Amino acid sequence: MFTAKAAVRQSLLDARRSLPPGKGLLDSALATGEVQRARRIALYVSRGREPQTGSLIDWLLARDRDVLLPILYADNDLGWGLAPGAADLVPGRLGLSEPRVDLGSDAIATVDLVICPALAVDRTGVRLGRGGGSYDRALGRVAPGVPVWAAVYDTEILDHLPSDPHDQPVHAALTPTGLVRLT
């Protein structure tokens, strides 16, 4: 399965590189009841051509919501820290921007909603990430019943993706144009 995933991953990365700079997720997210109700959300700081999360993070912080951002550990697991202002993030591994204070890997179990990065999802909830397994481990710690969404572009919602037994499913795809619920 690794070969199939690697080939799909490379194709998706190539296609994403041809896109214009990433569009934001704020309007789509605010159109959902889950974001309006959530008091604590796990998110990530987008980079490059990823759908942009900056304005959504700012909106949540301005409304006194807790935003947990990932901290990438040396073993590729994820810890979580509370989002400060964007200027207060520090450089992390692999060029990521991270909070200064680590609340630990189990902090994700305290959120009301997870919005995670992905290269693509399929209509059954299979999420394809960058291949390190970081989010699969983290999503395994999310409390039962908490919605998990993957942030992608509309063209990255596919009929089928290769998967492995350790892959954690997502419930929806959040795109710049809306939320697509997955089965």
Residues in the annotated binding site: 5-9, 45, 50, 127-135
Dihedral sign computed on CA atoms, order 78, 65, 167, 23: negative
> 22: closest CA among 47, 44, 45?
47
Q: Structure tokens of 19?
A: 């896109």
Residue 41 neighbours by CB under 8 Å, 6+ apart: 35, 60, 65, 66, 67, 68, 111, 112, 113, 114, 115
C-alpha distances in Å from residue 45, one per residue of 24, 31, 182? 12, 21, 24
Q: Which residues are annotated as a binding site for substrate?
A: 45, 50
Asked if 162 and 131 touch (Cβ cutoff 8 Å), the reply is no
Q: Which residues are annotated as a binding site for ATP?
A: 5-9, 127-135
Q: Structure tokens of 106?
A: 């189990």
